[in-house]
A and B are shown apart, each in its own frame.
Chain A
Amino acid sequence: MTKITEKQLIKSLQQLKDIKPRKEWALLLKSQILNAEYAEQRAISKPAKKTWSILEFLPSFDYQKQLAYAFAALVFLIVGVFGFAQYTMPGDLLFPIKRIAEQTQNPMQVAYNRSEDLVQIVKENKTHNLEPAISEFKASMVDAAKKLTQDLAQNSDNNSIKVAIAEVKKIQDNQKQLETLGINIGETKDLDNVLALLVQDQIDTLNESTLTEEQQEQLIEITKLYDEEQYSDALEKILLINQ
């Protein structure tokens, strides 16, 4: 080749574009580069001892993503366990979790929840749950009584008494329902004692007050209910006089 124009030279240069790598080599190289690193990364992330890890189920993610997904899975698991625990009864494995979740609730509400649990256990004939449920109910009644004492010491106006009576009534209704189902819970004196003190205090106040003839008759009835230990009924009548 002796003579070649610049145009021909450029054209010939451009024809060198036909030089290409072997396709199989190019594919193999790509696979080796990208997958060798991938295999290496997996080898590092695997523990020396064979243990079951949630991270092993996420092999295609890098370490940070694995952590993020593991954390999300953990949160999901915790939420799931707490959610599932809401349907447990005293004596069940996850019941302590339900009790933890109830710590933010009013003890009166918790006592009512336990009475509801008891009713359901009896209705569904879950005998293995019965004894723990009665214990839980009694414990919750002690807490409820303490809370009621504290609340009434701070504020014993008609509204507070009204709310307390409503809560107590709900629990007492369940107790009555249990009795009809043949379950005797036994003594739950703590709450009664609080109510008795409250009724006694109210009767003393009314005795010192000037009452109409009708109110005096109502006071006699209240005193009678007090003697019969029907404290919540007595309190309801006291509220009527105070209105």
Chain B
Amino acid sequence: MEHIREQFSQIYDQYIEKIYRFVYLKVNSQEIAEDITSNVFTKGWESFQKQESDIKNPGAFLYQIAMNSVVDYYRQKGRTNIVSIDSIPQIADLGISAHDKAIFNADVNAVKESIYKLKKDYQDILIWHYLEDMPIADIAQIMDKPEGTVRVMLHRGLKELKGIIKES
């Protein structure tokens, strides 16, 4: 048991920032991102104890839970992926250096807000590939799509993001 706990502890340290960031960019709220991320790692830990040996790729496993959790969140919320006007000042008030650094940079903030408006699949691909430096092959595995399709989606996602930024 200690062995499993130690393993999951390492996985947690390795992925907490990545999962939080992934969720945050999809929900655009620190509070909600923390709730969902907490849920992701709680579920992850429960599953990890039961089927440790079956989890070959903990990152993919956690991202899968995160994706489902975000979907569940929006389903429960009864809303589509639309920017909440109220969320913008909340983000500005975070008072956290890492956030501030990203948010007060106009370009970066524009990208962040625009990602939020993207289609879910494009969001996932752009975040994984450009933020988390995940290879196309790994993304293809998580999304259960051919690598070629992922490449095309990456290109389209980037193009669509550019379009959203241009309109803003």
Contact = CB atoms under 8 A, between A and B. Distances in A.
Interface of A: 1-4, 6, 8-10, 12-22, 25-26, 29-30, 33-34, 37-38, 41, 60-62, 65
Nearest to B166: A2
A48 to B, nearest CB: 22
A16 B158 contact: no
A14 B130 contact: yes
A14 B111 CA distance: 10
Interface of B: 1-2, 5, 8-9, 12-13, 16-17, 20-21, 24-25, 33-34, 37-38, 41-42, 45, 49, 96, 98-99, 101-102, 105-108, 110-112, 115, 126-127, 130-131, 158, 161-162, 165-166, 168
A62 B5 CA distance: 11
Given A4-B166, A26-B20, A33-B45, 10 more contacts: A4-B165, A8-B107, A16-B21, A16-B111, A19-B21, A19-B102, A29-B37, A34-B8, A61-B1, A61-B2
Contacts of A15: 102, 105, 107-108, 111
Contact of B16 (A1, A2, A6, A21): A21
A228 to B, nearest CB: 76
Give chain B's interface secondary structure class: helix
Contacts of A60: 2
A69 to B, nearest CB: 13
A38 B1 CA distance: 10
Contacts of B99: 18-20
A24 to B, nearest CB: 11
B135 to A, nearest CB: 16
Nearest to B24: A19
Contact of B126 (A8, A13, A37): A13
Contact of A30 (B12, B49, B110): B12
A18 B112 CA distance: 11
B9 A6 contact: no
Listed from nearest, the 4 A-B pairs whose CB atoms lie closest are A62-B1, A21-B20, A13-B130, A20-B98
